[in-house]
């Protein structure tokens, strides 16, 4: 599969301009795009289920309503169950966090004193000041965020706007999805239709496989970690488990962060190595379940989005465009990955990578061999 064109630079110019316009559009309207991007994402994730219902002779409108209502009832149910303990444990953690820092400093003081005697310098005061300053920033940031949400204002307006608009956008997108895909297909140049269709299928496979699969994996891991840590009696176990599950959207990040935080909390809570080992074993078992059961079944090995690439896409998108950038980060990363793979394949087929043997030389040699055979005959 390769692009057929007498002017390859025309493709480069066209797609470069398209990418520039897309980035410019997101940059210009990033303040209002969140509910629309979220609605489109919900429609994209749920559309296969709607298609499955329509194959059972259920009208598309009825299928869209059934799936969308079921989805939002499920989300509201999960939030209703999880929100009270999360809020309670988050508040308790914010209150006890300065105490953890003081105990950490007390634990490190002998080692810092030894380092100070050997190398000089005020290690104790510097590290103590660093920890307290940064903890103060985190607490003030959390307090400012909570205060902003409680007092109303632009954040609350944005939240309720997203809450109202995202379902509407998802509904209309799911209802009109066949027409939208047909419209996009009609825009594809006829000359390169098969090539572009193949690229679009690969992009859809990567985005759908990773996003749908990884969100499901993260959900199950969050439930497993939260229940296991709560049963083990870890302070803030429910909060740590849900957070670790949410961060597992980026492979390996959630389990790593959850393990470190859980081990620290377990040590300060009990001060026993055996209890710390139990908490660490929960995350080890979680990783075994994820690596051998959840990820192979729900994501698959052929999706091929590296954790570092996903993390970079999320951070870069969030840095450039905020929440909208984070929502778009993984799909854009998948698309870029497919296009880079296609470009490398095309490059290796070209004469820039390896010059071809001239055809005339080969024909002359074969013709000489044939004449020699005739003479000997």
Residue 227 lies in a domain: yes
Q: How many domains does the chain have?
A: 1
| pLDDT greater at residue 372 or residue 96 | 96
Q: What is the pLDDT of residue 60?
A: 92
What does the pLDDT look like over 296-322, one tens digit per residue?
A: 777 665 556 677 777 788 888 888 888
Most confident of 19-23, 137-141, 363-367: 19-23
pTM of the model: 0.68
Question: Is the per-residue pLDDT at 148 higher than 90?
Answer: no
Token look-up 């490059």 returns 347
Residue 208 lies in a domain: yes
| pLDDT greater at residue 315 or residue 140 | 315
Q: What is the pLDDT of residue 123?
A: 56
Residue 116 lies in a domain: no
Residue 29 lies in a domain: no
Residue 130 lies in a domain: no
Q: Is the torsion defined by CA of 111, 112, 116, 117 positive or negative?
A: negative
| Domain containing residue 321 | 193-353
Token look-up 């009609």 returns 186
- Backbone dihedral region for residue 107 (phi beyond 0: left; psi -120 to 50: alpha; all else: beta): alpha
Q: What is the pLDDT of residue 117?
A: 67
CB 299 within 8 A of CB 291: no
Residue 32 lies in a domain: no
Residue 355 DSSP symbol: P
Q: What is the pLDDT of residue 75?
A: 86
The mean per-residue pLDDT over the stretch 268-284 comes to: 89
Residue 10 lies in a domain: no
CA within 13 Å, CB half, 180: 10
What does the pLDDT look like over 193-236, one tens digit per residue?
A: 788 888 888 888 888 777 778 888 888 999 999 999 999 999 88
Residue 319 lies in a domain: yes
Of 11-20, 34-43, 85-94, where does mean pLDDT reach its minimum? 11-20
Interatomic CA distance for residues 290 and 75, integer angstroms: 23
């Amino acid at each position: 599969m390769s692009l057929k064109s007498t002017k390859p630079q025309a493709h480069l110019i066209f797609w470069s301009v398209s990418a520039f316009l897309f980035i410019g559009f997101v940059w210009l309207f990033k303040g209002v795009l969140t509910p629309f991007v979220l609605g489109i994402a919900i429609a994209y994730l749920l559309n296969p289920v709607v298609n499955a219902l329509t194959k059972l002779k259920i009208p598309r409108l009825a299928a869209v309503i059934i799936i969308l209502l079921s989805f939002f009832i499920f989300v509201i149910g999960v939030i209703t169950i999880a929100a009270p303990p999360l809020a309670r444990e988050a508040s308790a953690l914010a209150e006890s966090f300065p105490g953890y820092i003081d105990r950490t400093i007390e634990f490190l003081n002998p080692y810092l004193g030894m380092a100070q005697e050997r190398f000089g310098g005020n290690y104790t005061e510097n590290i103590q000041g660093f920890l307290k300053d940064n903890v103060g920033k985190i607490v003030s940031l959390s307090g400012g965020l909570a205060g902003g949400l409680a007092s109303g204002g632009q954040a609350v307006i944005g939240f309720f706007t997203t809450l109202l608009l995202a379902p509407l956008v998802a509904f209309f997108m799911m209802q009109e999805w066949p027409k939208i895909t047909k419209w996009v297909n009609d825009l594809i140049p006829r000359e390169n239709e098969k090539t572009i269709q193949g690229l679009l299928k690969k992009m859809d496979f990567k985005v759908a496989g990773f996003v749908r699969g990884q969100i499901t994996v993260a959900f199950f891991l969050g439930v497993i970690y939260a229940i296991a840590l709560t049963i083990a009696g870890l302070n803030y176990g429910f909060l740590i488990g849900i957070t670790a599950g949410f961060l597992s959207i980026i492979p390996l990040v959630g389990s790593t962060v959850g393990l470190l935080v859980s081990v620290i909390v377990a040590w300060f809570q009990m001060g026993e190595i055996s209890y710390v080992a139990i908490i660490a074993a929960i995350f080890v078992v979680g990783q075994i379940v994820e690596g051998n059961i959840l990820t192979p079944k729900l994501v698959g090995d052929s999706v091929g989005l590296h954790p570092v690439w996903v993390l970079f896409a999320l951070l870069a998108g969030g840095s450039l465009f905020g929440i909208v950038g984070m929502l778009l980060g993984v799909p854009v990363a998948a698309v870029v990955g497919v296009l880079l793979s296609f470009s490398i394949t095309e490059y290796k087929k070209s004469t820039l990578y390896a010059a071809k043997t001239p055809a005339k030389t080969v024909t002359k040699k074969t013709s000489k061999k044939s004449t020699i055979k005739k003479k000997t005959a």
